[in-house]
Structure 1
Amino acid sequence: MYIIAGLGNPGPRYANTRHNVGFMTIDALAEKWSVPVDRSEHQGLTGTARLGSEKVMLVKPQTYMNESGRCVGELVRFYKIDLDHLIVVYDDIDLDPGHLRIRKKGGAGTHNGMKSVVASLGGGDFPRIRIGVGAQPPQWDLADYVLENLSGDAEKTIKAAVEQAAKAAEMIVKDGVDLTMNRMNVH
């Protein structure tokens, strides 16, 4: 079994923000696979699908970004998932808007949601898909930037990246993280 967890914040206020690209990716997969992500368990919303012979759980933690690890950690422990079968999708201000970076494992960097996940799991030995949202303009507060509602070209760029992230998550389940990194880490 795989778990694909998209990090974000619950509620309509945050739905179309840079910080919610993880949720957007889960929504894209849910739509593609025709599976609702509406089951409440372990402080998150989940939905389960089959991808070939693999069972795949889609997860949107409902703990707010900075506490994402509470949900992800509980699910990993409850379902006894090997960490290489956990895929976490989240925003990254250190990547240009629309760029993806897929890694087999790593640290949390400066991302508070990932810090929570890594702390909850006792390490970062799991695949992750980072979606570039770009750095905030100098005059902006970081929180204001990542929580700004998307529009115009920024929204188009981010939505295209979300579709690529969904494709990458599906590819990791089907073909493994190494092949996915070789195909998708082109920038």
Structure 2
Amino acid sequence: MINPSDLRGLIPRLSKRRDFKIPKLIVLGIGNPENDYHHTRHNAGIRAIKTIIDKYQLDLNSNKRSYDSWIGQLYGDTIVIAKSNTYMNDSGLSARALLKDYNAPPNCLLVIYDDMDITPGKIRLKKQGGPGGHNGMKSVCERIGTNDFPRLRIGIGRPSKHQDTVSYVLSSPSLTESQLIASILEKTDGILNSFISHGIDATMEWANRS
């Protein structure tokens, strides 16, 4: 069993990589592209990617119309870290382009996104499944033609009964919620490292208990 408190000490740095081979994992954070959306609840996935990029100071590898990507190396495996440049409802365009450009199968894709069914400060890793009412994930599933790929869901909680869902996800969280979400974003790189070194089943066992 993985001990989360010991995980970081067991993990080598995610290193920069300039040569290319088919990646073991493509990590895609989805959201809305403009800066005005960056701190909204709906952009939790893109914020997770930015947290990883800033921490490891990875160089931009590819700047495409539908995505930006960075390439790193972990335990000798090539890892692509990417953020969508499309609007949330067209996230599938980013996912499809990434798989095509990196010549990778759908099960190499890990999508990170916000989830209202999970409370702030919680995170859930899942092997596969439907979009669950999330329009961005609906687009991904439709564009790549399968639900059989892993996803990492970041909790943002549900709006009050007096608040519209769209305005809720497109607004910034409260200070307390922001702190909870930020704390879980800091754990995403540990989850990715565990995913590569221990596999998804072992990673789910501890990540989904947090």
Could you report, residue by residue, the CA deviation over 1:111-170 in whole angstroms, capped at 9, with x for unpaired residues? Answer: 000000010111111111001100111111111111112341111011111122332123
Q: Contact 2:111 / 2:150 at 8 angstroms: preserved in 1?
A: yes
Residue of structure 2 equivalent to 1:46: 69
Could you report, residue by residue, the CA deviation over 1:15-69 in whole angstroms, capped at 9, with x for unpaired residues? Answer: 1111111111111111222214473125111111111211111111111111000
SS at match of 2:190: helix
Residue of structure 2 equivalent to 1:86: 109
Return the alpha-carbon distance in structure 1 between the equivalents of residues 57 and 196 of structure 2.
Answer: 17
The answer to which of 144-153 and 129-138 deviates more is 144-153
The answer to which of 33-42 and 129-138 deviates more is 33-42
Residue of structure 1 equivalent to 2:142: 119
Instruction: Give % identity.
Output: 34
> Tell me, which stretches of 5 or more residues in structure 1 are unaligned?
none
Return the alpha-carbon distance in structure 2 between the equivalents of residues 135 and 165 of structure 1.
Answer: 22
Return the alpha-carbon distance in structure 2 between the equivalents of residues 144 and 154 of structure 1.
Answer: 16
Residue of structure 1 equivalent to 2:26: 3
Using the size of structure 2 for normalisation, the TM-score is 0.84
Q: Contact 2:65 / 2:85 at 8 angstroms: preserved in 1?
A: no
The answer to which of 110-119 and 83-92 deviates more is 83-92
Residue of structure 1 equivalent to 2:79: 56
Letter in 1 for 2:55: K
SS at match of 2:186: helix
Q: Contact 1:42 / 1:75 at 8 angstroms: preserved in 2?
A: no
Residue of structure 2 equivalent to 1:13: 36
Return the alpha-carbon distance in structure 2 between the equivalents of residues 150 and 109 of structure 1.
Answer: 22
Return the alpha-carbon distance in structure 2 between the equivalents of residues 10 and 166 of structure 1.
Answer: 22
Residue of structure 2 equivalent to 1:25: 48
1:35 aligns with 2:35: no
Residue of structure 2 equivalent to 1:183: 206
Return the alpha-carbon distance in structure 1 between the equivalents of residues 61 and 162 of structure 2.
Answer: 38
> Tell me, which stretches of 5 or more residues in structure 2 are unaligned?
1-22
Residue of structure 1 equivalent to 2:99: 76
Q: Contact 1:37 / 1:58 at 8 angstroms: preserved in 2?
A: no
Return the alpha-carbon distance in structure 2 between the equivalents of residues 23 and 37 of structure 1.
Answer: 15
How many pairs are equivalent?
A: 187
Using the size of structure 1 for normalisation, the TM-score is 0.94
Return the alpha-carbon distance in structure 2 between the equivalents of residues 7 and 63 of structure 1.
Answer: 8
In our comparison, the structure showing a higher alpha carbon Rg is: 2
Residue of structure 2 equivalent to 1:65: 88
| Matching residue within 143, 146, 150 for 2:169 | 146
Q: Contact 1:101 / 1:185 at 8 angstroms: preserved in 2?
A: yes
Residue of structure 2 equivalent to 1:136: 159
| Matching residue within 182, 195, 198 for 1:159 | 182
Return the alpha-carbon distance in structure 2 between the equivalents of residues 122 and 42 of structure 1.
Answer: 21
